[in-house]
Every structure is written in structure tokens, then in C-alpha cells.
């Protein structure tokens, strides 16, 4: 039985949101489970924070093209 990459990423994302430290390293392929503080810290700094910064840059660059809005309303509409 073969599972598509996208399905694997969705499963891992849900597991992480439930606090399971499934980590990855952009320099290597694959995932690993680690409860070591230094591994989790490295993952958060290298993988998660870089994505947050990139998304923020994109948001800031594009938001200037729309009329002022209440960002709280935008966030509330996410459905999470």
C-alpha cells in the first residue's frame, strides 16, 4: 500500500498540532521523532520560524493592495 506524500504531510501536521514532536531537517529527507530539547529547538528555529517570517513578508507585501480591513475578522474567518 502506497500513501501519497501530501497525505503523509497532512498526518504529520495534525500530529504536530497535537504536540507530537515529529521533526524534519531541510538538509535531509524524511522525518524523525525526538523529545530532545535541542532537536525541537533547532526544528522550531530552522523550519517553523523561517516559514512564519516568509509568510509575514508575503502578507506585508500584498496587504498594501487592499483597503484597510479589520484583521481580527480575517483571522476569525479561517475556520480553525
Assess whether pLDDT exceeds 60 at residue 1.
yes
The answer to whether the pTM exceeds 0.85 is no
Alpha-carbon span 56 to 79, nearest angstrom: 20
pLDDT at 69: 66
**Which candidate, 18, 15, 51, 55, places its Cα nearest to that of 31?**
15
Alpha-carbon span 55 to 42, nearest angstrom: 19
pLDDT digits (tens, 9 = 90+) for 30-68: 899 999 999 999 999 998 999 999 999 999 999 888 777
pLDDT digits (tens, 9 = 90+) for 19-31: 999 999 877 788 9
pLDDT at 64: 84
Amino acid at each position: 500500500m502506497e500513501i501519497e506524500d501530501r497525505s503523509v504531510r497532512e498526518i504529520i501536521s495534525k500530529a504536530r498540532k497535537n504536540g507530537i514532536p515529529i521533526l524534519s531537517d531541510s538538509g535531509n529527507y524524511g522525518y524523525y521523532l525526538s523529545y530532545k530539547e535541542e532537536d525541537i529547538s533547532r526544528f522550531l528555529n530552522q523550519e517553523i520560524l523561517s516559514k512564519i517570517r516568509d509568510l509575514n513578508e508575503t502578507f506585508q507585501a500584498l496587504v498594501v493592495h487592499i483597503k484597510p480591513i479589520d484583521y481580527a475578522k480575517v483571522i476569525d474567518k479561517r475556520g480553525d
